[in-house]
Structure 1
Amino acid sequence: MRHSWLDLPDDAPFGVHTLPYGVFSTEGEDPRVGVAIGHYIIDLAPLAAVEGLEGGHVFNRGSLNPFMALGRGAWDAVRGWLVELVNGESGREIVEPHLIRADEARLHMPFEVADYVDFYSSQAHAENVGKIFRPDSPSLPAAWKHLPIGYHGRSGTVVPSGTGIIRPSGLRRVGEDIGYGPSLRLDIEAEVGFVVGTPSALGQPVPIDEFEDHVFGVMLVNDWSARDIQAFEYVPLGPFLGKSFATSIAPWVVPLAALQHARVDPPARDPQPATHLADAQAWGLDLRLEIEWNGTVVSRPPFREMYWTPAQQLAHLTTNGAAIRTGDLYASGTVSGYERDQRGSFLELSWNGSEPVSLDDGSSRSFLEDGDTVTIRATAPGPDGAQIEFGEVTGTVHPSS
């Protein structure tokens, strides 16, 4: 859609309603903050200097953290300024000198991850996993419909899209034997991540209606998983080495403000959520994910069906008084629907290996093999029929070291 002097082609990524933030560099220059639009990146630091934008020095950093720490007032002001510049003809003369071709830039980790929490909020995914591993027991854990179940992950192994994923090794059961070796059931989890900008004080829970004041933006996540290592270790304390070896995130962070037209009511809940999880505002999101395996689209998971919303997740992870910090990342958990072509992990898609997936090159897969590449994309509805695009997250599996 053409709404800008940039005259973006219809198939261009990142239209004027998206304006995601990231960190990039060009040859011989240090990483700094930019905004993606079409096939370009707006170099924010010199643009802000020319415009005399208050606080614009934060864009000359190699991380979004200084900007995110300024809070919602600054986020809204900068977005409003950018929207006016890219949509009004008068912005052309100001912005054009600071446009960098995206194919001439290198993308970096968009922010410094403080803490990392991963949730388990898709009912379809939770039920599928329960049927696979606990066929004679209830498919959902007892607490699942009472609270967003999650675990604390490892922030130091959150990596930017494109980083090679080395096949992890660990203890796993093979038949009747237990041994150490490379994972034989390496998997993906298609997720959506939320990054905190405004911190909170220790001992002060974040009320559910303050979600927008604390969360800066949204990006795609692939939480790589070694299912055989995970299956052997996870009772009673849950995921550990089967998850902590790598979590990939997209290089572009879509501002929460860009998703207002994607908001939907979450599924009906029974029983009703506890008081701290009672959401008066609709913070389900109509995000449409796509998973590509070696060039073949194998699944399209629907995020709008997630049982617990990102606002409820934030309220719950702080309800005990845990503080949040600028750069905290929390992920939704695997996004899955009830149809086979909506499953967000290969564990589900192949039903633990019993139903291999056929790829366009004639091969079939149950779990990841060395050399396999997985890419996750997503879109969401925007204003006036426009589409909000998310930067893709991709990774290729390398042999165990």
Structure 2
Amino acid sequence: MAGRGRASGSGAVALVLLLVCLVGCGGKPAATTDRKDLQRVLDRRASAVLDRDRTAFLRTGALSWFENLRGVPLASWSYRVTALHQSGDTTATADVELRYQVQGYDKAPVTAGRTLTLSREQDGQWYVDAETPAEKSAQQLWDQGEVAVVRGAHSLVLGVGQTSEALHRYADLADRAVPAVTGAWGPDWVGHVVVLVPKSLDGMAGLLGSPASSYRGIAAVTTGEVGGAPNAPADRVIVNPDAYAVLGALGKQVVLTHETTHVATRAHTSAATPLWLSEGYADWVGYRGTGRTPDQAAPELARAVADDEVPQALPTDRDFGFSGDATKLAQAYEGGWLACRMIAGKWGEAKLGEFYRAVGDHRTRAGSVEGALKKVLGTTPEEFTEAWREYLRDQLG
């Protein structure tokens, strides 16, 4: 009996020590509780955003960008805490994943990394002092100012620092682009487009999370996941208003149609797709039906052909670098466009679309173009390249 009594006492001491360690060693339970408390605050914050409830939002933190988002149609908005970094009993920062959907346009949530600066109130609740893009993450449009919204027949245009008239002009261009793209590519896509128009080039760069110098002179870009599944978030066409403003009426339409083509073809664009094909096809759709001749649409290559400097090969992906030589970049786009124009003229527009899909649906870059050339067009890379070079001489000579 005595032995059993001593064993019982040792067990009680061990249990007490274990409890002390669990509560005091490293503070894990407290950290876990804090993280759960923060998640509950952010759940209420998300509900306030969806309900447009300013008072409820203020209970979770500073007003910040809340009013800027007022006009944006939202189908969902949620936060997920991924890390909590406490710097004291009453201050902390948190890494958070924001997920949201634009009503009627996004089939799945768009994801954005956010950083929260936090303080703890007297009642123990976390309070969001600031919410900003995470390091190396892009801004959201409402981080830049109040978002104005214009709905088109096939488009949603969101702008900051733009007049209503300007945004309606973008919507008109996008509404013409969508049926033009469908006429070329077919109905196998969402059939609408979201256009973001920031105030300036710097705003565009912020939305892309890149230096402004990377996009100087670029009128617009399209963001999105290449090879995206059918339920992937809708792409965003992001405009550089500084460069876009200097374009003529035709140029503005070609650019919007080009970028809308990227939205339509995204599910069949993958790492297997060379840029001469993805950019060339987008330009082909953009110029389709405009009456622009090769000499007019490909002036840099026309000059090269006139100087007997016909390219030896199709443009490489590196040739499309925005920060490289401007003439080389222009020739890359023009060369891709003329390659697609040649396919459409020699094999037919339907075959061009079939070729594009066959290349993008290949598992890897290696063999993608070769296989599609053989299967769809009945030719080889060598024969195709020589035909393209001859086409340049014929069309631009």
Q: TM-score range with shorter-chain normalisation?
A: under 0.3
Specify the structure having the higher radius of gyration (Cα): 2
Q: RCO higher in 1 or 2 (8 Å CA, sep ≥ 6)?
A: 1
**Scaled by the length of structure 2, what TM-score is found?**
0.24
Please state which structure has a larger fraction of its residues in strand. Answer: 1
Question: Greater helix share, 1 or 2?
Answer: 2
**TM-score, scaled to structure 1:** 0.24
